[in-house]
Every structure is written in structure tokens, then in C-alpha cells.
Amino acid sequence: MDNKKLTTGSGAPYYEHQDSQTVGARGPVLLQDFILQENLAHFVRERIPERIVHAKGSGAYGKFTVTHDITKYTKAKLFSQVGNSCKMFARFSTVGGEKGSADTARDPRGFALKFYTEDGNWDLVGNNTPVFFIKDAKKFPDFIHTQKRVPKTNLKSPTMMWDFWSLNPESLHQVLILMSDRGTPYGFRHMHGFGSHTFSMINENNERVWVKFHFKTKQGIKNFTNDEATKMAGENPDFAQEDLCKAIDNGDFPKWTMYMQVMTEEQAKEFRWNPFDITKVWFQGDFPLIEVGEMELNEVPVNYFAHVEQSTFSPSNLINGISFSPDKMLQGRLFSYPDAHRYRVGVNAHQLEVNRCPFAVNNYQRDGFMADSSHYQDKPNYYPNSFDDIRPDSSYKNFEYELDSNHVANFNRNENDDDHYTQPGLLYTKAMNQQDRENLVKNIIDHMRGIDGPKRDEIINRQLCHFFRANIELGMKVASGLSVNIDANMMNHSK
């Protein structure tokens, strides 16, 4: 067969790819060697800013299939009948580490899903945990700073992590999950995923319910112990990426079953906790899991950078019949996620293959870096106009609702909602078995031993009070492991 010609970026064929143009065999390189210039200039621009969080990740394409009827809850076309399916893309990630960090680090895992539907792309951007460390997005930059590096030393710091957690008891539920073996999952195939936030669904009758999304792995839960995760970080820091790619290449396609929990607006008003608080779960005994469908990952992207690194997800990418809630963390992410992608990838990131809706996209957005006009060409860039056939469809009108209050203020996120201990206590006593509890205590002790500096004792004692409030046994075991003498004053604080 005929060979393809080697060309420049503009398509001009050239021959001299390996030797620069010089004055004599040992002379200086000429500025006119534009091939050298083009290749070097492109090379030093091959990277885009890494994600501030979720920098290290893996991704794959797959298929989502609806297996159960939920039309009484939503008018989303994807769920209009059993058997409907769509292409999807999933990206899994660690949260705090940089792009070159180890896959097995103790960290939550991102669980971001993109469904390519006929009503647009739906992004469900969650984690492998049903809760989070904080309940208001205003606190997010401060929290993430504690998970990154100390500005002076550029080192990770258990001191600032535990300082922040001990000063924010709302973090306790997620801290216990993080410090358990669930904080070091065995790759991405063996962990559950959660939308984490409370979302809403609206049906054909314009009735709204609150929902939470769950994805249960069909491969079974499997975690590393702390020692195994540390060992694997040295042996193969890309373990999770390799595990995912190998499984798909071998035809062992990973699958998850999608479920949801449903809470009516009336139930939300009577719920023991704020149903929009991401530091809390809805008990499945009260709000049972409803099976929805199955997702299967079956295709490794042909180019990691183009598809996984340039993929963008945002909870603001919603489809008709699925909407948001007053969850303060979700409300903040509706802005911050698309804003992060406009900075990192560019204002036209949605035109890239991995992010592009494969169905109709008709709007009046134009120009900006890397604009591709192949779709809109010379069509008008304003509305209304007399020339195109784009018309708003009234069947997609937003759900209208009344708010409970018209009083504007900076409300204390914990006022009348400061029970940070009941659910962590139940996690310890009910959700974990004896081995889970032993590993949790050991992991906490090992991690808290890294706290140092003049505030060491103050931070440790403050955090111990939170452990005691959740469960006396947990507090006693951690205190003992850290050689802290328990006095009556500390016990009183824990009541």
C-alpha cells in the first residue's frame, strides 16, 4: 500500500524530520528551519493546566441501558421506556493528588459519568462515597488547600488536614469513610459510585420528587489495606489505570447497576435531617433503592489526552426531567465546574469529541479560542432573527415552584442542623464489621501520628472529642493508640 506523506500542521509534506538545518555539519542551527520551530513550539504546549482536584484519573466509553420503569418520577426521554440505551463516558479519579500521583493513595475517588442523550448530555458528577466533608461550597477552597501541599515546604501535611477536620465536625462522616479501607479501593472496577448530592426529578404531570443516585459495582467491593495500598503505590502507581484498561481489552467489561432513592417533598419536610445536606445519607430502610438500569464500560479511548484529560463534566449539564436541589454544595458546583473547564480547556471545550453532544446543538454562542464553525457556519449569531429556524420549545420550560422563605441572609449552615455524630456512629457500629473497625482505628492512628508542631496536642484532643461523640469505643481506641490520657473533661465534651 502507498505510504502517507509526512506533513506539517498545515498539511505541507516535508522530508527532513530528524536533522535540523545548520550552517555546515557542525555549525549553528538556522532560524529558518520552520519544521524545527513548529515541532518544538507544539511540544512545549502539549499540556493543558491539570485539574485543581481530580487531576489523576482514568476513563472509558460504554453503554447505559434502562432496565426498569421510572416514568412516574421523570419525563426524561432516556427513561421513557425500558430498553432505552445511550452511549456514555466515565472518568474515575483520585481527588487530592497531582497528575503523576499514585492511584492507590488514601483519598476519595471521583465517579463522573456523561450520558449522551437525545435531549443533550447529562453529567452525573459524584464520588465513590455517598457523603462529603463539607456542606457549603464557600468552604471548598479552604478544604482543598488542606488536602494539597504546605506553601512553604510543598509537602503534604497531616497536621493541616486534621486541624481543618477537627475544626469542622461536619466532616466526621466522610473522614471515617476515608480512613476505612474504602479510602483505598482496589482500582476503579470494585467500588460503588454515588451522585452524592440530592437531585430532583420532574414527571409529565409537572410533579417533583427528590432523588439520590447510586451505582453498585457488579464486580464486588474490593479494597486494599493501608499496607497493601502503600506497597502498590511504589510497585505500580498506575495500578487502577492498568487494571481498568486490561479488563476492557480482555473483554471483561466492568458493569454497575444504577439505583435511586426517592423522597417526596412532604417527606423532605418531615425528615430528621436536612435532606439537602451532603454530609448525611438517607437510610435505605426508609427510602429503599429502586433499580433503574445498568452501565457497562467496553471501550478504552484511543488517545488518553484527547478523551480522558480533555473530558469535562459539570452537574449543570442536566436534561429535561432531571434537575438540581437546594443542596448548597451542588449549587456552588453548578458554577465552579463549568468555570474550571473554561479556564482549563477553553470556552469551546464542549465542541471536543469527548464532550460534544452527538445530537442537535443549536444556539448563538460564537467565537473564542478554538472555535469550530463547521456546524453553524454563517448562521445568525443573535436571537430573535428572521433567517434561521431555531425556536424555543415550550415543552422544555423550567419547573416552577415557590420558595419557603423570601428572607435573604448568610444563614449558619449548622443552625438547627448540627447533628454531626449520629450517622458516623451508625457507620461505625452498623455498616462496618469487626475487621473494618479494626482497620479504621489503625489507619486513623497511623495518619494522626503525622500531626506535629506546637498545636499537635490541641488538634488531636479536638478530633478525639468528635470520635467520642460518634462512638465511645472508637474514641477510646484511637486515644489509646496515640497514647493520650483520657480525662473527665474530655469525656464531658463528648457527651
Q: Kindly list the distances between the CA atom of residue 180 and the CA atoms of 56, 219, 361, 447, 485, in Å, as whole numbers in the listed order.
A: 21, 20, 44, 11, 24
Backbone angles phi, psi at 472, to 5 degrees: -60, -45
User: 337 labelled as ligand-binding?
Assistant: yes
The residue type found at 352 is L
Q: How many C-beta atoms lie closer than 10 Å to residue 65's C-beta? A: 15
Query: Residue 79 class from Cβ within 10 Å (0-12 exposed, 13-18 middle, 19+ buried)?
Result: buried
Q: Annotated catalytic sites, by residue? A: 54, 127
Candidates 79, 95, 208, 117; CA nearest to 161 is 95
Distances (CA, A) of 114 to 126, 186, 307: 11, 23, 12
State how far the Cα of 152 lies from the Cα of 339, in Å rounded to an integer. 28
Residue environment code for 431-452, b if the CB has 16+ CB neighbours within 10 A, otherwise e: ebeeebbebbbbbbbbbbeebe
E strands of 301-357, at which residues?
A: 322-323
Cross-strand partners of 214: 194, 259
Within 10 Å of residue 257's Cβ, how many Cβ atoms? 17
Stated as kind and residue range, the H or E segment containing 43 is helix 34-43
- Nearest in space to 296 (alpha carbons), one of 357, 247, 333, 233: 247
Bin 430: left if φ > 0, else alpha if -120 < ψ < 50, else beta.
alpha
Binding-site annotation: residue ranges: 337
Q: Output the known binding site for heme.
A: 337
